[in-house]
Amino acid sequence: MKTREFTEDGLHIVAIEGEIDLARSPELREVLHAHAKARRPALIVDFQGVSYVDSSGLATLIEYVRKAQAYRGRLALVQVNERVQTIFDLVRLREFLSIYPTLADAKTALLAPPGA
């Protein structure tokens, strides 16, 4: 798994490539913990390059969401492929995570004023 971090329109974005499994989820946890520690009001995780995610990867995402809730931080996932989307659907994570088809859609949602 590789990650690349950048900022666009004031939003922090983490792009991931590869598999998020038991061996790699600690790397993702470190990246997400750094963003939680920085208290990012919004974070986008680009899943375009993610081919697989297991339960440890799902737990890492849920852990970040819970940490971010303490300061009203929001997480958006984008460009989730069909295989990974099926995994999210099986464990009903779509009810817990905001998932957008494109980076532009996520940016629009996260930059909109609350209640808009």
Residue bearing the bigger pLDDT, 47 or 93: 47
Whether residue 116 is predicted with pLDDT greater than 60 in this model: the reply is: no
Which has the minimum average pLDDT: 53-62, 72-81, 106-115? 106-115
For the chain, the domains span 2-111
Q: Provide the whole-model pTM.
A: 0.93
pLDDT of residue 54: 95
On whether the CB atoms of residues 42 and 10 are closer than 8 A, the answer is: no
Distance CA 116, CA 109 (A): 9
**48-61 per-position pLDDT tens digit:** 999 999 999 999 99
The CATH superfamily label for domain 2-111 reads STAS domain (3.30.750.24)
What's the burial of 63, exposed, middle or buried (CB within 10 Å: 0-12/13-18/19+)? middle
What is the enclosing helix (H) or strand (E) of 3? Answer: strand 2-8
